[in-house]
Amino acid sequence: MRKDYKLEKRKYVIGGFIVVIALIYAIRLFDLQLNDDRYKKRADSNAFLEKTIYPSRGLMYDRNGELVVYNQPAYDVMIIPRDVQPFDTVDFCNTIHITPEQLRRRFEDMRDKRLNPGYSTYTPQRLITQLSTQDYGRLQEKLYRFPGFFIQKRILRQYNYAAAANVLGNLREVSRADIEADPYYMAGDYTGDLGVERSYEQYLRGVKGVEVLMRDANGRIQGRYEGGAHDVEPISGRDLTLSLDIRLQQYAESLMVGKRGAVVAIEPSTGEILCLVSSPSYDPRLLVGRKRGENYRMLTEDPSLPLFDRALGGAYPPGSTFKPSQGLIFLQEGIINTSTTYPCTGGYVNGGLRVGCHAHGSPLPLKPALQTSCNAFFCWGFKNMIDRRSKYGTPAQAFEIWKNHLVSMGYGYRLGVDLPHESRGFLPNAKFYSKFYGEGRWSANTVISVAIGQGEILATPLQIANLAATIANRGWFITPHVVKAIQDTVMPAELLEKRYPTIDAHWYDDVAEGMHMAVLGGTCRRAQIPGMEVAGKTGTAQNPHGKDHSAFMSFAPFDNPRIAVAVYVENGGFGAVFGVPIGSLVMEKYLNDTIAPSRQYMETQMLNTSVYYATKRK
């Protein structure tokens, strides 16, 4: 009886195993047929070909409606590897003007999954990119000789002006990281690289379409499946209106030829950037077409760094363009009033410390100090603030208040411009000095150079221009931006909101008047524009690595300003040598559309004077 019982149990165990195995096969079959579409796709690929239709990329216009960036057709040679049959490689290479060796390498790169992670013999693969119109025409006539090959039409950029390369950006082929980060992209697609093309990629690129084609048993295309009923039309990208005045941009770039540095011009009332020049620059058309890679390599190897955007990424000592911010802080903190005077006996002299200055009247109050760019005045103001223990406690506590005022004006952090690679500059805090000198072992005299925009202080030309715009507005600014409008889209609110520094608005009138005096009879006299009131501030920034840098910030007209500008010329010497004439010419060109005859000599001088090449040869 025991033996029969064991046999009976074994029967049930074996039966259970059979049922489990059957269930596993059934579940797997269900999964393959209903959930896993890989085999369906492979079967469909025998009968259908899905061709991507690339949308037209959004166009770019300047603020005056001038077309700046547009599209041109380009053609890629695509293949479906499993459909390719032996073909005449010599005929193919002659048709599109490549060598058999180049063709062999293209096939190898296409099959390399490290370079082309989306490779499959069943799906379309890009073999040759960016055929010329002539090569496309010749290949189209012979395409029947090359089974498995077809031509994919796509869009490339073209530029109406050889200007604003650092603002506009360009297109590049997507990387593996791009594909992994965004399902929109597949191998061989293009995406924005640098500038507006990168920042506004989501708006510019549009939405891809699909064309479904039917094949016969031999894989030959028979036409659109069901008359195109399953096709998806692409949606064009959105056009952008830039805040740039492209002709002003061209003009400013021409003034900066042969010089390293930047020019930034802003419309104060809107924060719209009128021109954003980084010099040396390059023609944006160099990064279009099949020679893009070669030209890009040439630009990256250029020692003048034309791909580096000095207007946004260049961090420089602001020099005396920093002094208006100091005057505002001292007024706000009650360290001075408009009648407070400080002596200048050839500079700031305190104990064994001396900061030099040039000849002018002494003692003097704030407005004449701005007019003459007196170093001593701002050093004394800084000392009387940082070392005033009765008001602030320790120098470190006073320094933090000083620093926070500057942060509210846009220094030390990125302003948030709608372009990539903006630098924050550098604004030290109290901990920075305490770590270097020791806790409680430093005072105003230890760091006195920051009072005149030297020492550890670094600012971008954009930040300096933004300070000029803030003073022009008498106490507020809007985040600088280069896109004025997006087609059928509301602009991001953060680009349109007013931002208020921690300085009371009424103090700005006094600083603006001091800058006005600097143009009428001070360090900025060359900035005078006939028939117009201008305010400005020069800067001569000391450079431990060579000749001083020439800087200038300004706005005009004095009442109801329409333009604020900052100029920075590396190794340009005094601010009045290059900064002032270039900045004032840019303002005059924008406001009057012409240069007065009495100032055309200065225009000719700036157009034909080189600083960069003279510096480079040393």
Least confident of 243-252, 280-289, 561-570: 280-289
The pLDDT assigned to 552 comes to 97
> Which amino acid is present at 428?
P
Least confident of 35-49, 116-130, 552-566: 35-49
d(CA 190, CA 188): 7
The pLDDT assigned to 39 comes to 45
pLDDT at 618 over 60: no
pLDDT tens per residue across span 85-133: 899 999 999 999 899 999 999 999 888 888 777 788 877 888 988 887 8
Task: Give the phi and the psi of residue 265 in degrees, each rounded to 5.
Answer: -125, 135
Residue range 493-510: average pLDDT? 94
Burial of 366 (0-12, 13-18, 19+ CB in 10 A): buried
Cis check: omega of the bond before 530, within 30 degrees of 0: no
Residue range 288-308: average pLDDT? 90
Residues contacting residue 322 through CB under 8 Å, at least 6 positions apart:
452, 453, 457, 459, 539
CB count within 10 Å of CB 7 equals 8
Q: Among 82, 68, 97, 299, which residue's Cα sits nearest to residue 167?
A: 68
Token representation of residue 402: 């000083």
Q: Is the distance from CB of 586 to CB of 484 less than 8 angstroms?
A: no
Q: pLDDT-derived band of residue 8, with 50, 70 and 90 as boundaries?
A: low
Residue that the structure tokens 């030829």 belong to: 257
Q: Is the distance from CB of 284 to CB of 582 less than 8 angstroms?
A: no
Q: Is the distance from CB of 382 to CB of 326 less than 8 angstroms?
A: yes
The pLDDT assigned to 41 comes to 47
The pLDDT assigned to 551 comes to 97
pLDDT tens per residue across span 334-368: 999 999 999 998 899 998 899 999 889 899 999 99
The pLDDT assigned to 42 comes to 44
The pLDDT assigned to 617 comes to 35
Per residue, the 3-state secondary structure of 11-38, as one string, reads: HHHHHHHHHHHHHHHHHHHHHHHHHCCH
Residues contacting residue 356 through CB under 8 Å, at least 6 positions apart:
346, 347, 375
pLDDT at 37 over 90: no
pLDDT tens per residue across span 431-453: 999 999 999 999 999 999 999 99
d(CA 17, CA 13): 6
Residue range 34-41: average pLDDT? 52
The pLDDT assigned to 6 comes to 57
CB count within 10 Å of CB 241 equals 18
CB count within 10 Å of CB 491 equals 13
Segment holding 558, helix H or strand E: none
Q: Among 543, 566, 539, which residue's Cα sits nearest to residue 261?
A: 566
d(CA 613, CA 600): 24
Q: pLDDT-derived band of residue 615, with 50, 70 and 90 as boundaries?
A: very low
pLDDT at 495 over 90: no
Q: Mean pLDDT over all residues of the chain? A: 90
The pLDDT assigned to 152 comes to 86
Least confident of 101-110, 208-217, 392-401, 407-416: 208-217
pLDDT tens per residue across span 191-241: 999 999 999 999 999 999 988 877 666 556 667 777 777 888 999 999 999
Residue range 521-546: average pLDDT? 92
